[in-house]
Chain A
Amino acid sequence: MAKRIIYPLYQLGNPQLRLFRPTFNLTLVRPGKEQPPDTVQFRIPMEMTKFDVRNYLEKIYSVPVAAVRTRIQYCTNKKRNHLNQRVKRPDYKVAYVQLAQQQTFQFPDIFPEKDKKHEEGSVEEMQEKFMEDERQRQKPDPRRGGVTEWFGL
């Protein structure tokens, strides 16, 4: 609904609650543990409920939602600052949303591995080449078959 308002209790006969500008923000996160392919993991504000998540995704983003399960992650109050006061890391709510109509979702790779290729003639290229040669020189003689220099005459 909205983050800082007391939830209006619905009783039979009340008008349908309609919200036009919700103040909720959802954060899509990469799951820490492996999830089934149709499950998407969100961090949601504490005041949101399963029905809020479902309506939010269906009405605003038109994502077909089959099931929503939530849990609250308690974060530590044990850490202390330089004044020996306990510092609380804020709690947060996690929602696991299962998509309907056999849709799947895979969290994308936001930081892909790049093969660093330095440009020709630059300082980094020469440094890299020098380090490579050093490493090659430090390696033991392959003809000894892994036996160290300790054994020998």
Chain B
Amino acid sequence: MASCRRLPLHPFLSSTSARLVCRRNVQVEASTAKSLYPPILPSRTAKSKSAKRRVATEFFEQLRACTPQEKIRALTRVQRKKYVIYPQTFALNADKWYQHYTKTAYLSGLPEKYSASTNAAVDESVLSEVRSVVCDSLLQELWYLKKGRTFTHKEQEQFVTPFLRNIVCGLKNLLAKENSVLSQSSLDFDPQVNYYWLRGERTIPEGHRRGLVEPVRFQIDDKPHSQIRVPQQLPEFVPLEAEISTEVPVITLAPDLLPLFRRQYDNNIFIGAKLEDPFCYGHTQFHMVPDRFHRNKMSKRGLSDQVEVSLRANGIASLFAWTGAQAMYQGFWSEEDVSRPFVSQAVITDGQFFSFFCYQLNTLALSPRADVNNSKKNLCWGTESMRLYERITDGDIVGLNDAVLKLLLQFLLNKPQC
């Protein structure tokens, strides 16, 4: 109280006294003043959410300075139960679910590069050579070679696998003079393609970790029939920041209802060759539809409308895994998103029907931490399945479809910009 003070009070009575007039612009100086003290950070070892956040942030900061090998090792070291996604699946309507888990927008039809109006540049002589290669291998496997009937579930392996192998080999060597990148490419048979990523969150329902919020982990282990890897990246179909109106479908249900099953094993990220391989970018993958998903078998089970769905799911999952693994090999990951789009192509066939898919990876940031403000999405273009030939009679192919051959040719002639 003022009455207890022994000091004189008259300096405070005047409003112009030295004590009351403040000559420094305190607010301005505070923002530009050099801080004498280190920044206030939350603790690193406390049992608090801010401490966990700080530990995670410091771990990710320290990862930015590592080599791609170390980044992949650090991100896949800890094993936990994860959902295993099979590209060739029996699950119904799997393509919508897979689109949600890979943040892919599916566009029917191929990009402008392959649309019908730009077909004029196809060379007739090259097309006729392609036609002869395809017809020769088709007749060889299905007519000239005397093959006995095998078990029902081994028919594709007996008839279609060697046909596809011959086509891929023959066309790659034929078109090496048209497309110089094919001559310095690597053709793998039965390669392994693996990818591991985090997407979305869930609350653990039971167990000693009950109530904790953790990210949902996914793994794709794919074995395409064959693939072509090249040393340079294919050109993008659409710029990275382009606005695409097609939306990514959103599924709010748990993955168990698809059905997807959880297992725990090595988290692998692999494009088909190890990190040091010079052919680290993907060109085209070739997939074969296995016997149990052949359209005859599906229609006998009453699932004729699921044939196209399963082809789309196969294309989306396989290509996302391949492009994602390529991006991880270059050092991009969820916190360091891709600065240029990664592009790959795929051809899925069951011997008679061919479908073509193109994939552009625009974003790898799918983990719950990185997906907060991410407006980019991956794009997948795909066609319906097109018949290559009607039937084979007396050493002659009836009803050969040239459109399929043209598309195959254009796919293989796709070359990176010099």
Contact = CB atoms under 8 A, between A and B. Distances in A.
A66 B259 contact: no
Interface string A50-70: 000000000000001111010
Interface string B262-303: 000000000000000000000000000000000000000011
Given A66-B92, A67-B92, A98-B92, A36 B306 contact: no
B257 A39 contact: yes
Interface in B136-154: none
Given A38-B92, A38-B93, A66 B257 contact: no
Best-buried of B92, B253, B303, B305 by chain A (most CB within 10 Å): B92
Contacts, number: 24
A66 B253 contact: no
Given A66-B92, A67-B92, A98-B92, A36 B302 contact: no
A11 interface: no
B92 A34 contact: no
Contacts of A69: 259
B153 to A, nearest CB: 17
A69 B254 CA distance: 17
Interface in B178-213: none
Contact of A102 (B90, B259, B305): B305
Contacts of A64: 302
Interface of B: 90, 92-93, 253-254, 257, 259, 302-303, 305-306
Contacts of B306: 66
A102 B306 CA distance: 10
For the complex of A and B, list the 4 residue pairs with the smallest distance between their C-beta atoms, beginning with the closest.
Answer: A98-B92, A100-B302, A66-B92, A36-B257
B93 to A, nearest CB: 7
A101 interface: yes
Given A66-B92, A67-B92, A98-B92, A36 B253 contact: yes
A101 B254 CA distance: 23
Contacts of B93: 38
7 contacts: A34-B253, A38-B92, A39-B257, A65-B302, A66-B306, A67-B92, A100-B303
A121 to B, nearest CB: 50
Band of interface residues on A? 10 to 19
Nearest to A64: B302
Nearest to B301: A66
Contacts of A98: 92
Given A33-B254, A100-B302, 5 more contacts: A36-B253, A38-B92, A64-B302, A66-B303, A100-B303
Binding site of A, secondary structure by majority: helix, strand, loop or mixed? loop
A35 interface: yes
Contacts of A102: 305
B96 to A, nearest CB: 10
Nearest to A101: B305
A39 B256 CA distance: 13
B394 to A, nearest CB: 35
Interface in A14-46: 33-36, 38-39
B312 to A, nearest CB: 15
Contacts of A38: 92-93
A104 B44 CA distance: 51
A34 B253 CA distance: 7
Contacts of B257: 35-36, 39
A64 B306 CA distance: 14
A25 to B, nearest CB: 25
Best-buried of A33, A100, A102 by chain B (most CB within 10 Å): A100
A102 B96 CA distance: 13
A147 B254 CA distance: 45
Contacts of A67: 90, 92
Contact of B302 (A33, A39, A66): A66
Contacts of B92: 38, 66-67, 98
A65 B303 CA distance: 9
A18 B386 CA distance: 41
Contacts of B90: 67
A87 B242 CA distance: 65
A65 to B, nearest CB: 8
Contacts of A101: 305
Nearest to B96: A36
A36 B253 CA distance: 7
A41 B42 CA distance: 50
Best-buried of A34, A38, A67, A102 by chain B (most CB within 10 Å): A67
Interface in A66-123: 66-67, 69, 98, 100-102
A102 B92 CA distance: 10
A36 B260 CA distance: 13
Contacts of A100: 302-303, 305
A10 B259 CA distance: 30
